[in-house]
A = this chain, B = another copy of it.
Amino acid sequence: MDASNILRKLAVATNDSGSPFQEEAFSAAKRWSKLRQPQARAEIFDQKAKDNAACFRNNIESYIGTISIPVGVAGPLRVRGAAGCRDYRVPLATTEAALVASYNRGARLLTSAGGCNARVVAEAVSRTPMFAFNDLVEAEQFARFIDAHADSFTDVVSQVTQHGKLVSVRCLIEGNHVYVDLQFTTGDASGQNMVTFASDAICKLVLEHCPIVPRYWFLEANFSGDKKSTAKSMGHVRGKRVIADITLPRALVEQQLHTTPERMVEYWYAGAIGGVLSGATGIQGHFANGLAALYLACGQDVACVAESATGVTRLETSEAGDLYASVTLPNIMVGTVGGGTALPSAKACLDILGLAGCGKSTALAEVCAALVLAGELSIIGAFCSGDFALAHRALSRGEELQRSNDND
């Protein structure tokens, strides 16, 4: 931040007649005057949107107001996480009928079985700059330089970020191009900006010292998996690799899902191979639904659903005739600080979970996995019992669902 900016911000903060609130709201009003949509304006740029304008200034540009997305609550969802067992009420923001009802049903099933296990088993966010050379011989020399000097990158990272720690450096050569996979842990933040700034600093250090000069280079060249479902993340981690599992007693499956463990496993086969035949990455049903609703409620980057909604659901019958179920999510991008997490609605939703602020991101990732497990069990149950079409027909018409476990 340069000096003039600091001055400008100080000025704004101390000037009564030009408070940040008024400045932002004023700009928004100007934009509306061009749009000429009075009804839309009334909905989007209501009093609260005006009042809160300033608090969004670090999270959006060309602000014109806010949209309202309905939130439902699912649970209690009992999670046996790294820090012990806990029941969560999970806020889910969506406009899709049946979504909350279905996750709620799954959450209650898990809870009635004593809760599911959940663990973050790996953690890293990467940036992957690319350096281009005249030929592969130079590329290989550059890669060797990186390998030899990777230890020295830690220092420069610590100057850029307090929370981001460089955990691995790996070069991957393609032709005369070198992709450098820089992996970081990012504390309780999702961390995408943090790793961008840290990588930028590393690249500049390398460029300053490396005798093999690239023809050109880019700070990020799409090998990181950012905003994409990738096999790379599936076989390693991006963000947090988090798993939830449970062994569900047969009786609970029969009572609550109206089907049997064997039928659930038959569905699993059908769906697993259906996904493989479609060329999907991973094996799963509808991770996207729960994750989108939870990310949205809790101020996470909802575009990350494109990468997070990937993984493996596995169902097996146990020798005792019970149902083992697990979900593995290699690419959960969540934080409890930074990004949109401090915005009013997000803060409220994180508070409902009891997961706002420092030291909570691991638990939030565990909730993601547990929720997704609930959703997989519920939808598979619905396909097995034949309730799927029925439930969607009823709930999308505002009818009551006979077999529902509404959260009341």
Instruction: Please state if A27 and B388 are interface contacts (CB–CB under 8 Å).
Output: no
Interface-lining segment among A250-258, A294-302, A357-365:
A294-302
Instruction: Please state if B280 and A229 are interface contacts (CB–CB under 8 Å).
Output: yes
- Whether, in the assembled complex, A117 has its beta carbon less than 8 Å from a beta carbon of chain B, the answer is yes
> Per-residue 0/1 for A238-251: is the Cβ within 8 Å of any B Cβ (1 yes, 0 no)?
00010111010000
Residues of B within 8 A of A267 (CB): 218, 221
Residues of B within 8 A of A307 (CB): 288
Q: A275-B228, A282-B276 are in contact. Are A61 and B104 (CB under 8 A)?
A: yes
Instruction: Please state if B286 and A226 are interface contacts (CB–CB under 8 Å).
Output: yes
Instruction: Please state if B48 and A46 are interface contacts (CB–CB under 8 Å).
Output: yes
Instruction: Please state if B303 and A306 are interface contacts (CB–CB under 8 Å).
Output: no
A328 CA to B233 CA, complexed, in Å: 21
Query: Smallest CB–CB gap between A213 and chain B, Å?
Result: 16
Among A173, A288, A344, max chain B CB count under 10 A is at A288
Instruction: Please state if B60 and A95 are interface contacts (CB–CB under 8 Å).
Output: yes
- Whether, in the assembled complex, A371 has its beta carbon less than 8 Å from a beta carbon of chain B, the answer is no
- Whether, in the assembled complex, A64 has its beta carbon less than 8 Å from a beta carbon of chain B, the answer is yes
Q: Interface residue tally of chain A, by bracket?
A: 35 or more
| A73 interface neighbour in B64, B128, B306, Cβ under 8 Å | B64
Instruction: Please state if B69 and A65 are interface contacts (CB–CB under 8 Å).
Output: no
Shortest Cβ distance from A283 into B: residue:
B276
The B-contacting residues of A in range 168-195, CB under 8 angstroms, are 172-177, 179, 193
Instruction: Please state if A176 and B245 are interface contacts (CB–CB under 8 Å).
Output: yes
Instruction: Please state if A222 and B175 are interface contacts (CB–CB under 8 Å).
Output: no
Query: Smallest CB–CB gap between A138 and chain B, Å?
Result: 10
Query: Smallest CB–CB gap between A319 and chain B, Å?
Result: 8
A31 CA to B232 CA, complexed, in Å: 42
Residues of B within 8 A of A404 (CB): 61
> Per-residue 0/1 for A26-59: is the Cβ within 8 Å of any B Cβ (1 yes, 0 no)?
0100110011010111011010110010001111
Residues of B within 8 A of A200 (CB): 389
- Whether, in the assembled complex, A97 has its beta carbon less than 8 Å from a beta carbon of chain B, the answer is yes
Instruction: Please state if B228 and A62 are interface contacts (CB–CB under 8 Å).
Output: no
Residues of B within 8 A of A398 (CB): 9, 57-58
Among A267, A303, A393, max chain B CB count under 10 A is at A303
